[in-house]
Amino acid sequence: MNPGELLEISGYFWKTCALHAAVKLDVFTVIGDAQLAGEEISQKLGGSQRGIERLLNGLAAMDLIVKIDGKYANSPAGKTFLAKDSAKYIGHVIMHHHHLLESWSQLDQAVLSGRPVRNRASFSDDEWRESFLLGMFNLAMGMAPKIVPLIDLSSKRHLLDLGGGPGTYAIHFCLNNPILKATVYDLPTTRPFAEKTIKQFELTDRIQFAEGNYLNDIIERQYDVIWLSHILHGEGPDDCRRIIKKAVNVLEPGGMIIIHDFILKNSMDGPLFPALFSLNMLLGTDSGQSYSEDQIIDMLTAAGVKDVHRIAVQSPNDSGIIMGKA
Ligand SMILES: C[S@@+](CC[C@H](N)C(=O)[O-])C[C@H]1O[C@@H](n2cnc3c(N)ncnc32)[C@H](O)[C@@H]1O
């Protein structure tokens, strides 16, 4: 790697911060379908023309907006993914990333102490929790249509979406499997987000929300399939084993348990996203981490799960699926 490439990595946060500021100020929604002068955009945003024009020129240099005859318009990506009125808006997960920035700037301290430097988003204030949960919805809306067709649940009747957040995966599993019902189990503070999302997809008759803490509370009734997506990385190995055991205890004989998470190779030094995500868990949890394929397989096997295997998934952030039977 040459100095230029090293400095590109070192300075990448300039681009990150320009994008975050634009989403936070809602620049893309304000521009909409129009071509606007910097002065007009500054007036609509209620900010200084000096600052806002400089941001607009930076965004144009990043191809996030385009400058035509001195006026600014949305790029296709800006309009599709960054304007709030688009069904494909991903600004919630970008705001979630924005909330993580301060802690990432203190990574050296977390590395030395081995301790987190921020609160967990699930247990944080309303604004953080909202962008976290809606951010999870943004991410899962991209992944669920790819994952759900890979798993045959056509004969299953009741899925437990453990730590299901806004319920995006439960929703997509139900949309794809007409006889399936689902329970989204999550903390009480998640209920309004899940219920709103389930209603949006007109699935209130098939998907219910159950309040609970999977570390401390019991899980009620029995299920023939249990889906754990992106919850193991928030906990240490002992708690992961407890959660998996708890799940297996409410699985009918022959039922399926499916883990979806960012999975490291067994040497733990890649792929890139799970390796960096593990640092994110160091910054924000007491004992969370990314796990390797062997570690997840061992946890499932220790809980008595049989036929444990990984299925191939195409994912931009190297998430993977490992599943087995009770
Ligand atoms: C990273 S999100 C994953 C959401 C969803 N499964 C997905 O993949 O989109 C983790 C979820 O676990 C929930 N959670 C965290 N700790 C929990 C606990 N102790 N008991 C129940 N839910 C918990 C959070 O509220 C959040 O919805």
CA atoms within 13 A on the CB side of 137: 26
The pLDDT value recorded for residue 121 is 74
Q: Is the CB of 168 under 6 A from ligand 1?
A: yes
Atom of ligand 1 minimally distant from the CA of 227: 6
Report CA(103)–ligand 1 centroid distance (Å): 20
Cα 20 to Cα 22: distance, rounded to the nearest angstrom: 5
The DSSP-derived string for 80-99 is: IIISTTSTT--HHHHHHHHH
The pLDDT value recorded for residue 30 is 98
Q: How confident is the model at residue 118 (pLDDT cuts 50, 70, 90)?
A: very high
Report CA(223)–ligand 1 centroid distance (Å): 19
The pLDDT value recorded for residue 250 is 98
- Comparing 32 with 128, the larger pLDDT belongs to 32
Mean pLDDT, the chain, rounded, equals 97
Q: How confident is the model at residue 125 (pLDDT cuts 50, 70, 90)?
A: confident
Report CA(229)–ligand 1 centroid distance (Å): 8
Lowest mean pLDDT of 30-39, 82-91, 122-131, name the range: 122-131
Choose among 103, 88, 83, 84: nearest CA to 137: 88
Atom of ligand 1 minimally distant from the CA of 260: 8
The pLDDT value recorded for residue 113 is 98
Copy the structure tokens of residue 32.
Answer: 């909409």
Cα 286 to Cα 65: distance, rounded to the nearest angstrom: 40
Quote the percentage of the chain above a pLDDT of 70.
Answer: 100
Q: Is the CB of 166 under 6 A from ligand 1?
A: no
The pLDDT value recorded for residue 316 is 86
Report CA(231)–ligand 1 centroid distance (Å): 6
Cβ-contact 146, 118 below 8 angstroms: no
Asked if pLDDT for residue 123 goes beyond 90, the answer is: no
Atom of ligand 1 minimally distant from the CA of 161: 6
Question: Is 0.85 surpassed by the pTM of this model?
Answer: yes
Cβ-contact 234, 309 below 8 angstroms: no
Report CA(112)–ligand 1 centroid distance (Å): 28
Cα 42 to Cα 36: distance, rounded to the nearest angstrom: 10
Cα 193 to Cα 229: distance, rounded to the nearest angstrom: 17
The pLDDT value recorded for residue 147 is 97
Report, as an integer, the average pLDDT of 231-242: 98
Asked if pLDDT for residue 185 goes beyond 80, the answer is: yes
From 183, 231, 277, mutation site for ligand 1 pocket: most ligand atoms within 8 A of C-beta: 231
The pLDDT value recorded for residue 24 is 98
The pLDDT value recorded for residue 33 is 98
The pLDDT value recorded for residue 256 is 98
| 254 φ, ψ (degrees, to nearest 5) | 85, -5
Asked if pLDDT for residue 309 goes beyond 90, the answer is: yes
Q: How confident is the model at residue 177 (pLDDT cuts 50, 70, 90)?
A: very high
Task: Give the pLDDT confidence of 257-271 residue by residue, as tens digits.
Answer: 999 999 999 999 999
Task: Give the pLDDT confidence of 207-225 residue by residue, as tens digits.
Answer: 999 999 999 999 999 999 9
